[in-house]
Amino acid sequence: MSRLNIKKSEKIITDDPRVAFFNRHAGSWDDDGPAIDSNLRRLEELRGMMGLRSGMDLLEVGCGTGQITPWLCSTVAPGRVAAVDFSEVMLAAARPKGIDADFRLLDICDERPIGEFDVALCFHSFPHFRDQAGALTNIVAALKPGGMLIVMHLAGSKAINAFHSGVGGAVGGDLLPEKHHWPDLLAGAGLKLDKLIDRDDLFVLRAASSS
């Protein structure tokens, strides 16, 4: 099995205030254990619908402290998982957990992850990308032809957007795009919408790379 070759960023160079926001919250990110367990149970139920299979190489974008990364690793094994995030404090919390994934510091709005992936997953992260079109372009550049993007939240877009507005500050304006904006946003990056579920307890978008 080949190791995925992900470019190592020495340092994140951005004035995005979200870096400081997520660095600040990283220390307490894993405090709610029961919520993590229930998220993992729901992901297991949704695995078939997500289209994840053994042998896929997977890019996790905005992995945080790696809460779902072990589940991703076991789901795609012997495929490999590369997990990227632009918060060095989130990654510093993830790395000692002994998860068999390649963790990398990377700003998805600025940099293309080097590698060829069957699937890229943005779990609870997409609204925070300050340049969503740029992030999609960088993700697609790292997908194999016909590779798949999944954007996923274990709540609907209405609740997610309201939650971020309530938190305010650096993430107060971080929204999932409205349904009618997705096709153009995806097409701009060479992706074609395959599935969009947006109900009270779930948001799942799947799109395939056309290149």
Ligand X SMILES: C[S@@+](CC[C@H](N)C(=O)[O-])C[C@H]1O[C@@H](n2cnc3c(N)ncnc32)[C@H](O)[C@@H]1O
- Which of residues 64 and 177 has its CB atom nearest to ligand X in the complex? 64
Q: Does 75 bind ligand X (CB under 6 A)?
A: no
Strand partners, 199: 202
Which of 59, 108, 120, 191 contacts ligand X by CB under 6 A? 108
Omega within 30 of 0 (cis) for the link into 183: no
Stretch touching ligand X by CB under 6 A, among 45-53, 93-101, 118-126, 184-192: 118-126
**Is there binding between residue 153 and ligand X (CB under 6 A)?**
no
Tally of CB atoms within 10 A around 27: 13
> Which positions from 4 through 63 interact with ligand X, judged by CB under 6 A?
18, 22, 62-63
**Residue 157 binds ligand X, judged by CB under 6 A:** no
Query: Would you count residue 69 as binding ligand X (CB under 6 A)?
Result: no
Q: Is 174 in the site for ligand X (CB under 6 A)?
A: no
Using CB under 6 A as the binding rule, whether residue 124 contacts ligand X is answered as: yes
Distance, in Å, from the CA atom of 40 to the CA atom of 31, rounded to the nearest integer, reads: 15
Shorter beta-carbon distance to ligand X: residue 18 or 80: 18
- Would you list the DSSP string of 40-90? HHHHHHHHHHHT--TT--EEEES-TTTSSHHHHHHHHTTS-EEEEES-HHH
Among 58, 109, 139, 150, contact with ligand X (rule: CB under 6 A): 109
Q: How far from each other are the two terminal CA atoms of the chain, in whole angstroms?
A: 25
Q: How far apart are CA 149 and CA 9, in angstroms?
A: 23
Residues at the interface with ligand X (CB under 6 A): 18, 22, 62-64, 67, 84-87, 90, 107-109, 123-125, 128-129
